[in-house]
A and B are shown apart, each in its own frame.
Chain A
């Protein structure tokens, strides 16, 4: 089954304790990205990646890091989490524009709470 898999689904952590949220896709998509969803603000892009070793900032990159060492994986790293990073996070992947039914496939989400 074609899908984007995020882990963990739920995470509660303390301020300052480094964490990684994993994201993996099995569709051989080149593009991957991370979003956070907050009430009243919709989905906002954190980072995106065009391909292996190519990443760039989205709208809200502060406090986050990403890496794209292989095509299928795009982990999101919070080096020193703070309470304002409490949110619902989504990973997504997509074909290139013009390839097939172009549109992003999203994972099921990771609900992160930083206390």
Chain B
């Protein structure tokens, strides 16, 4: 059962434009959501996170929006740069009453920035 879904396996965006990466989830109990960027042969690089009690978090060119009623989050990258070309994963964290964390990843979206 895939609790975190990225339905678009790939996305191409012109350099300088906005890239919007989408993620849907099924478990309304998730506490945090995170976005990662991954290059081939490297570990995922953390980009930005958002608590489930917020609806927006911004860090430089990256903004994450959370719509809890729709169980949907998105990552906006503005402006898009060639170095942003990578695979992007969204992830969700469930924290139990005992403090245990469980991180669940989506399957990723390959973003290609066209010069």
Contact = CB atoms under 8 A, between A and B. Distances in A.
Interface of A: 4, 31, 33, 35, 40-45, 48, 50, 56, 58-59, 90, 92, 94, 97, 101-109
Interface residues of B, number: 28
A101 B89 contact: no
Interface string B73-115: 0000000000000000101010100011111111110000000
Nearest to A56: B100
B22 interface: no
A104 to B, nearest CB: 6
Contacts, number: 67
Nearest to B45: A106
Contact of B89 (A31, A43, A97, A108): A43
B102 A58 contact: yes
B26 to A, nearest CB: 15
Is chain B's interface secondary structure helix, strand, loop, or mixed overall? Answer: strand
Contact of B107 (A40, A48, A56, A102): A40
A94 B47 CA distance: 13
Contact of A42 (B43, B95, B100, B108): B108
